[in-house]
Structure 1
Amino acid sequence: MSPAMFDELLARVGPRITKQYTFYRDPLEPGMKLALTLRHLASGNKYASMKFGWRVPHNNQSLVVREVCQAIIDEYVDEVLVCPSTPESWRAVADKFFQRWTFPNTCGALDGKHVACRCPPKSGSLYFNYK
């Protein structure tokens, strides 16, 4: 990730993940929280293996990653996840899905999800799930 993109993400998400200072302890800085979360999402390392590199306990890391991911979702949901609102736009989505996957009358799919469908007559074993 480029530094400019990181700074833009931090500027948008920073106010949502900033905590108030207390007498008990100083909170983690928003840049540190964002960097730790992006590192965890990019590498897939366990929290226990990252605790020495970031000097943040693994139990705090799990809370930080959840908090930052939720803040990113809340900040970008209106820009990224735009749901079609008219029948024509739903048809366009179904046509695009058909062109790519040759599965008619479908608006989308979930990875790893088994969806019950009615097979066309005389299709043989074309629609049979062998897993």
Structure 2
Amino acid sequence: MSGEYKNFTGLNPTDVEYFINLLGPRIHKRNTVFREAISVQDRLAVTLLYLATEDSTCSTYVSSVLGSLLHKYADRSSRLKENVKIPDNQEEWMKIRKEFIDLWNFPHAVGALDGKHVVIQSPFNSGTDFYN
């Protein structure tokens, strides 16, 4: 596994292999007589790139990979829950929301990955609600 994943995701090769093995059976596609299928590794890379940069050219693969990830998360036999924590109920989501407001004065947020800051265009007539 190349270091390219580490450069844009922060994942080490062991983590990448874990996700490839976990999601591969659900996101693998077969070659056709018209074209070769995109590999599981590339589908994962495109999804991670999309999540990191919101690159719209990646969006065609994202729903498949994220759907598979959620399916595996829901699977009680999956080890994914040991590595990724998602709140189980509304109270847990609201606690996280409150922490984002209290600590960072950042409303409408319920999580962050690797501290990524996403620049947005503020809506028309929004005043200081979207001040960066």
Q: TM-score, length-normalised on structure 2? A: 0.50
| 2:15 aligned residue | 5
| 1:73 aligned residue | 70
Match of 2:49 among 35, 39, 52: 39
Deviation at 1:82, TM superposition (A): 6.9
In structure 1, give the amino acid aligned to 2:72: E
In structure 2, give the amino acid aligned to 1:9: F
| 1:116 aligned residue | none
Question: Unaligned 5+ residue runs, structure 1?
Answer: 48-60, 85-89, 103-109, 113-130
In structure 2, give the amino acid aligned to 1:17: I
| 2:112 aligned residue | none
Deviation at 1:77, TM superposition (A): 2.9
| 2:108 aligned residue | 111
Deviation at 1:81, TM superposition (A): 4.6
Q: Structure 2 matches for 1:77-116, cutoff 5 A? A: 77-78=74-75, 79=81, 80-81=85-86, 83=88, 111=108
Distance 1:45 1:64 in 2: 12
Match of 2:39 among 29, 43, 50: 29
SS in 2 for 1:62: helix
CA contact (8 A) 2:43 2:65 kept: yes
Answer with 1 or 2: which has the greater Rg. Answer: 1
Q: TM-score, length-normalised on structure 1? A: 0.50
In structure 2, give the amino acid aligned to 1:62: S
